[in-house]
Amino acid sequence: AGALLGLAVPFIGWLLLCKSSAHFGHADPHPGNFRWCAATRELWVLDWGSSVRLSHERRRALCTMILLVAEGAEARPVGEAAVSFGLRGRDPGQLAGLVRGML
């Protein structure tokens, strides 16, 4: 499961943070929203009904938070990144647990 998490979290981060001039990203990454075409070797990402627009600052904070979770960082840095993203809480450890549970 740990190896799968190490692969899935960065991929989810990429989906959320895919670059565009509008800061637009997919916000519902699950297996049903992906189709692989072996003939063309293309990955299709479906169902853009759930999407997110982020400012540069929030995009960077989210990217940092996802990277820290993927690397198995201690609770305090994950919690601090969560606060930078805009989450609020009294205890960085609790915020880190919340973030890890969502990712």
Tens-place pLDDT, residues 34-77 = 788 889 988 787 888 888 788 888 888 888 888 899 889 999 99
Please give the share of the chain, as a percent, with pLDDT higher than 90. 26
Domain ranges of the chain: 2-102
Per-residue pLDDT, 80: 93
Mean pLDDT of 68-96: 91
- Report the predicted TM-score, pTM, of the whole model to 2 decimal places: 0.64
**Which stretches of 1-103 are assigned E, i.e. beta strand?**
24-26, 34-37, 42-45, 51-53
Choose between 36 and 29: higher pLDDT: 36
Asked if residue 78 lies in contact with residue 96, where contact means CB atoms within 8 angstroms, the answer is yes
